[in-house]
Amino acid sequence: MLETGIKGRCSEKVTAEKTAAALGSGALDVYATPAMIALMENTAMKSVAAELEDGMTTVGTKLDIAHTSASPVGSTITCESELTGIDRRRLVFRVTAYDDAGEIGSGTHERFIVDAAKFTEKTQAKLQK
């Protein structure tokens, strides 16, 4: 059952493929903001997946994130999420990311609950127009 307070936690290593230089979001070999955002979205998504009805999933729709500290290749990044709001199909999460030295980013993330098959069908229909 979906209820506020559900928490998630995921970690990953900073590799060369996850740097700003590799992802095109900057010129330095530090953990990229797009990589941090993907980890935040993944953490939030996984935290509620088991509570959804069969065939349902969530899609990310909004981010308000600050990336406040750089992390070098070799660091471990851990993201924690907490479901703080539910408005029908809209879910609001507080997300925070840490490296080995402390907090590197935080903010809010919104996801919507969707029927996976219907969502995919509607999206694919764009190619027919």
* Dist CA 39 CA 112 (whole Å): 17
For residue 82, the cross-strand partners are: 7, 94
Q: What pLDDT sits at residue 6? A: 98
Residues belonging to the active site: 33, 41, 67
Asked if residue 129 has pLDDT above 80, the reply is: no
Q: What pLDDT sits at residue 12? A: 98
Q: What is the mean pLDDT of the chain?
A: 97
- Helix (H), strand (E) at residue 103: strand 102-115
Q: Which domains does the chain have, with CATH numbers?
A: 7-128 (3.10.129.10)
Q: What pLDDT sits at residue 57? A: 98
The structure's pTM equals 0.96
